[in-house]
Amino acid sequence: MPAAITTRAYQNDIYCGDKCAWWEDEKKVTLCIADGLGHGPEAEAAARLAIDYIEAHLSESIPSLFLGCDIALQLTRGAALGLIVIDKINKTLTYAGIGNTRAFVVNHEIERFLSNYGIVGGGFRKLTPETSALPENYTIIMYTDGIEEIFDFNKYTREMKQDIQLLSQEILKDWGRTWDDAAIMIYKP
């Protein structure tokens, strides 16, 4: 499987407000990470609603997905949201994010993507999708603020980087913050 997801709820709660999902068809891959504000059942409900909205509207553009999610989440506490769409035909990657989700692409170098300020469901002023060429032999890492913003990806062995499920678990173990929910998704085609 090309994607690995690891999550951890704050204080091992049964509810986790940080969610990840991915979908693939013949033309594109869509990666999504949502962080419901706070933690507990209301945070989980907001994150789940964001994921469900994206899944139901995959054919829409990235700006339309964010605007639709903003409306769908208005009666929730809101969420941070990050999306990556990989265009398999044109070999490009587009990232957009609102709030404190994070993403980077690793090849020989690391390319980090920036999210805009705001809360999906609480309104946001600006969305700035970033598009770049898709490098060969790439790995994408998306994560929530339950993991340190900057961590040393190079500390992990080449063997570990081949097992993305193990890698996602190790990153969360090494860099996860204990005072929040956390989620990480690694995609390696």
Band (153; pLDDT cuts 50, 70, 90): confident
Q: Per residue in 77-86, pLDDT tens?
A: 999 999 999 9
List the chain domain ranges.
Answer: 3-187
Distance CA(36)–CA(18), nearest Å, equals: 6
Burial (CB < 10 A; 0-12, 13-18, 19+), residue 155, is exposed
Whole-number pLDDT of residue 127 = 97
Distance CA(60)–CA(85), nearest Å, equals: 11
Distance CA(175)–CA(189), nearest Å, equals: 24
Report yes or no on whether pTM surpasses 0.85: yes
| 25, pLDDT greater than 90 | yes
- 5: which DSSP letter? E
Whole-number pLDDT of residue 109 = 84
Containing 54, the helix (H) or strand (E) segment is helix 41-56
- Looking at 21-30, 113-122, 159-168, which range is the least confident one? 159-168
pLDDT (mean) for 144-169: 87
Q: Per residue in 102-142, pLDDT tens?
A: 999 998 888 999 999 999 999 899 999 999 999 988 999 99
Pick the CATH number of 3-187 from 3.40.430.10, 3.60.40.10, 1.10.10.10, 3.40.50.20: 3.60.40.10
| 94, pLDDT greater than 80 | yes
* Residue 66, number of CB atoms within 10 A of its CB: 24
